[in-house]
A and B are shown apart, each in its own frame.
Chain A
Amino acid sequence: MKKAALKRVRIADFSWLWAGAYATGLLAILGAEVIKIESMARVDPSRTMTFTMGQAFEGVDHSPVFNSINLNKLSIKLNLKQPKAVELAKRIIQISDVVTQNMRPGAMDNVGLGYEALKEVKPDIIMLSSSSFGAEGPMRRYGGYAPSFTSYSGLTNLTGYSDGPPNPMTGSTDLMSATTGAFAIIAALNHRQDTGQGQHIDLSSVESLAMFSGDALMDYIMNGRIRSRRGNQDDVMAPHNCYRCRGDDKWVSIAVSTEEEWQAFCRAIGNPDWTRDRKFSDARTRWQNQEELDRLVTEWTVKHTNYEVTDMLQRTGVAAFPSMSNQEIFSDPHFKQRKLAVEVEHPVMKKQIVLGAPWKLSETPAEVIKASPVMGENNEYVFGELLGIPSSEIKQLIDEQVIY
C-alpha cells in the first residue's frame, strides 16, 4: 500500500449499511486508512443479514456482504451512548482528515459529534453526512432504504417493461449513492490540499440518483413530457434490445446505431429477405417497427449462443454482448484477465472472493490488501498505538463497556 494514492488520508468512519459503508470502502481501496467506529450496542445490520436477499448470517463476522463493502478497513468498538466513548471518538477525529456518517440527520449532533463540535476539535475536518433526503428540507427526517430513495428519485418509474409495474432495481442504488459520497469526499480533499480548508458535505441519496435521469428531467422541463419505463428501448436506435439465445434463460443485447452498422448487421445474419422490407429501410422506420423487428431478430439469435452472437456481430462492428449472469461473469475470459475479482483471507470466514476497484491506476494501484475487519479487530492499534492509551486503561474501558 506504500504507493497508494490516498495513503496519507485517515478517515473516522461512523457510516454503516450499504449506502454509507461503500463510500469509505472505495477510499480504503485507494489507500486511505479507514477506521470503522462501530459497537455491539449498534451493530451494522449488514454484518448480520441482507434484507434484499432474505438471508441472516451467524454472529457478526460471517457476512460476505459486509466483507465486500468494507475491504481494507480497520474496526474499533466504541459505544457512543457512553460519554467517555464520545471523548475518545473526538480524539480519533483530531488525528483524522475525514469523518463520515449516515445516521438520520441530527443523530450525530445528539451524541455531541455534529460538524460544529468536530470543527472545534479539528478545524480543517471534512465531514460527509449522507441520508435519504438530505439534512435540510421538510422530509429530512424521513427514513429510506435503497428501494425507497430509488423510487423517490424517479429511477424506479423509469425502470421495467412499458406494460409492467415500476421497478426499484437491485441494491445497486445503495452503492451508487455511496459512490457519489466517495466523489464528494475526494473533491473536498482536493480543495483542502489546495487551501487548507475543511467543510461539511450534506448528501442526499435521492438527489444522487436523480442526477442519473438528466434526459428524462430535461424532457419534462423543456417539453412537459413525462417519460415512463420502456424496457431496453432507446430514443432512436433499433434494433436495441436483449434477444433470446440458445440455452436456458440466455440473452444477448444488440444495439445498432448507424446505417453502416445496420448493413453490417444484415450481412452477419445472412441477409434474410425481411431485411429488405420497406418497414426496415431506414433508421426511422426500423424504430417505428421495432417490435416486429425484434421478433425477426430473435428468429436468428435463438439459433446461436449469446457468445456466438456477440462474436459474429462484434467482428462486423456491431455492438452486442451477453446479458451476463453471475455464473457467466466468473467463466468469462475478459473478466479473468482484468482480475477484478480477488481472493482475500478473512479471519473468520477464511477464503472469500471479492470484487476490487473498477479502475486500474498505473502508478498508485488501488488494491485489496485485506478482508473486512472483524468487529473490534483494531482496538489495540487505534487506542494503544494511535491514541497512546496504556493497555491497563484500555482493559478498564472494555470492562466499563466504553470500548464495546
Chain B
Amino acid sequence: MPDKALSHLKVLELCNFVSGPYCTKLLADLGAEVIKIEQPGIGDKARQRGPFLNDIPHPERSGLFLYLNTNKLSITLDIGTSKGRDILRQLIKQADIFVEDNPPKVVKELGLTYRELKKVNPRLVMTSITPFGQIGPYRDYKAHEMNLYHAGGEGYLLPTQSPDLTREPVKAGGLVGDCVCGLSSAIATLAATYNMRETGVGQHIDVSKQDVLMTMVLLEIAMYVNNGIVRDRLHRPILTPIPIECQDGYIMISVLSDREWRDLVKLMGNPQWAQDERFNKWLNRHLYADEINPRIREWAKTQKKEELFSKLQANAIVGVPVNTSEDLVKSPQLECRAFFAEANHPSAGKLKYPTAPYKFSETPSKIERTAPLLGEHNEAMYCGRLGYSKEELAKLKESGII
C-alpha cells in the first residue's frame, strides 16, 4: 500500500508566485508528482522575491520559493516557442492535473485553452487560477494579493475596531489571500480528479481569486443582504473584540458564555465593578462592552502574557497569546506536533520548514525533497519520461527552449 495519499496522481504546474504554487504544494506534500514548468533562465518569479537567506538575493535561496515548492520537480521550458508548446502537450498527455495561473488572453494566444488540451488528453483536469476568473468584465484585469484582498470584501472591514474611518482599510497579514486561493483551488481540483477517476471524464475549473476571497466573508455578506446589517471597520461595542495588552505582549480573550464570564470575574478577583447585574447576560455584555473593556484591559496590563494564558485556559476560558513567528517556532504545542521539520537544500542548506496543518494517520504529509533547483529535473523528465536523447536535450538547451 502506498504510504502517501496522492502518489497515484501526476500534476503539471505552470504558475508563479503564491496561489498556484501553494495549490500544487499541498498536492505534492501529500505525495502527488508535481512537475513545475519554469521559464528558462528566470524561473518562478517567487525566486526573485524575499525573504532571502541572510538577506542576500539568490534565486535558489528565496524563503518564499523554498516554502511553496517542497516535494516538486522543476523543468525549464519556454512555452513562448511552438516547440516548447509541443513539449508541453506531450507532458499534458501524461498528466492527470494541469494547474495554471496565466491571464486568459495569454492562454488563448498560446493555444493552451482547455478546449485545445482536452484533445490531447480527455481525462485532464485543468485548473485555471486567475484574479477575476475566465468570464466577466474584469477577466483581463491585473491584481496582486493586496488588490484582491480588497476586491474580496474583507480588506474593507480591516482592521476591525478602527477608532475612525480616516485611515485606509488594510489587507490581512502574511500571504493569506493568495494561500487561501491556492487552497480552495486544490479542493475543486481534487473533487474533479475524484470524478475523473470514477467516470473517465476530465474538466476545466475556473477559479476566480476574488470569488474565493468573497466566500471567506460570506457570513458578513449574508447578514448584509438578508438582514440589512452593514459592516464597516469602525469600533463597535463588543466584549474584548481585539487583543489586550499585557505587561509583555498581547493576549486575545474571548468570553462568550455566562459561565466563561463568571469564571473570568473570579479570576480577576471578583472586583466590585463586575458585580453589576446588567452584565449577567451575554448580549448585554456586548452592549455595555465600552464600560467593561477598559476594566479588563486595566487588569490585563498587570499580567504576563504566558502566565495569563495558562491561568485562563486552566479555568476553561478562551485566552490565547498573540504570537510572533518566533513564538510559533518555539511553541511547545507545535513542537510536540512536529509542525516544523528540518530539511536540507543543496543551496540554502539545512532549514526548518512549516510542514502541514493536518496529521493523516495512514499517509502522513512529509518533506521528502526540498524545493527543486531551476531545471533540476530536465534530464530526468525530458530523457527519462519523454524519451529525448541527451543530444536532443543539449540542442533544446542551446536553442533556449529548455
Given A143-B318, A156-B252, A190-B9, CB of A166 within 8 Å of CB of B243 = yes
Residues on A with C-beta less than 8 A from B398 are none
The smallest C-beta distance from B112 to any residue of chain A, in angstroms, reads 16
Assembly CA distance A135 to B283 (angstroms): 32
Q: Which of A78-86, A247-255, A385-393 contacts B (4 or more CB under 8 A)?
A: A247-255
Which of A64, A136, A334 contacts B227 (CB under 8 A)? A64
Judge whether A300 is part of the interface by a CB distance below 8 angstroms: no
Given A138-B332, A156-B243, A194-B8, CB of A54 within 8 Å of CB of B252 = no
**When the two chains form their complex, are residues A145 and B169 in contact, meaning their CB atoms are under 8 A apart?**
no
**When the two chains form their complex, are residues A222 and B332 in contact, meaning their CB atoms are under 8 A apart?**
no
Given A152-B323, A170-B217, A358-B215, CB of A210 within 8 Å of CB of B223 = no
Which of B136, B173, B215, B219 contacts A18 (CB under 8 A)? B219
Pull 29 A–B residue pairs with CB atoms less than 8 Å apart, ordered by A.
A50-B219, A67-B222, A143-B313, A156-B243, A156-B322, A159-B173, A165-B245, A165-B250, A166-B242, A167-B242, A168-B242, A183-B190, A193-B197, A200-B360, A206-B333, A211-B179, A211-B357, A213-B325, A214-B174, A215-B50, A222-B348, A232-B171, A251-B169, A257-B144, A319-B143, A323-B169, A352-B226, A358-B215, A359-B205
Give 9 nearest A-B pairs by CB, closest first.
A158-B173, A218-B63, A213-B174, A207-B357, A219-B51, A363-B203, A323-B150, A220-B325, A148-B320
Residues on B with C-beta less than 8 A from A154 are 174, 323-325, 327-328
Which of B63, B146, B165, B319 contacts A249 (CB under 8 A)? B165
Judge whether B170 is part of the interface by a CB distance below 8 angstroms: yes
Residues on A with C-beta less than 8 A from B334 are 137, 206-207, 210
Judge whether A322 is part of the interface by a CB distance below 8 angstroms: yes
How would you classify the secondary structure of chain A's contact residues: helix, strand, loop or mixed? mixed
Judge whether B280 is part of the interface by a CB distance below 8 angstroms: no
Other than the known A142-B320, A151-B323, A213-B173, what 18 A-B pairs have Cβ atoms closer than 8 Å? A51-B254, A69-B218, A144-B254, A145-B256, A167-B158, A169-B154, A175-B219, A190-B6, A200-B361, A213-B325, A214-B175, A214-B179, A217-B329, A222-B52, A319-B144, A337-B135, A355-B214, A361-B203
Judge whether A362 is part of the interface by a CB distance below 8 angstroms: yes
The smallest C-beta distance from B45 to any residue of chain A, in angstroms, reads 10
Judge whether B195 is part of the interface by a CB distance below 8 angstroms: yes
Please report the number of residue pairs spanning A and B whose Cβ atoms sit closer than 8 angstroms: 524
Q: Which of B79-87, B228-236, B266-274, B387-395 contacts A (4 or more CB under 8 A)?
A: B228-236
B125-136 contact mask (Cβ, 8 Å, vs A): 1 or 0:
000000011111
Assembly CA distance A205 to B318 (angstroms): 14
Chain B count of residues within 8 A CB distance of the other chain: 157
Judge whether A16 is part of the interface by a CB distance below 8 angstroms: no
Task: Identify the interface centre among B30, B180, B319: most chain A CB within 10 Å of its CB.
Answer: B180
Residues on A with C-beta less than 8 A from B361 are 115, 199-202
Judge whether B383 is part of the interface by a CB distance below 8 angstroms: no
Residues on B with C-beta less than 8 A from A215 are 50-51, 63-64, 67, 174-175
**When the two chains form their complex, are residues B168 and A232 in contact, meaning their CB atoms are under 8 A apart?**
yes
Residue of A nearest to B157 (CB): A170
The smallest C-beta distance from B64 to any residue of chain A, in angstroms, reads 5
**When the two chains form their complex, are residues B286 and A170 in contact, meaning their CB atoms are under 8 A apart?**
no
Judge whether B216 is part of the interface by a CB distance below 8 angstroms: yes
The smallest C-beta distance from A136 to any residue of chain B, in angstroms, reads 6
Residues on A with C-beta less than 8 A from B6 are 187, 190-191
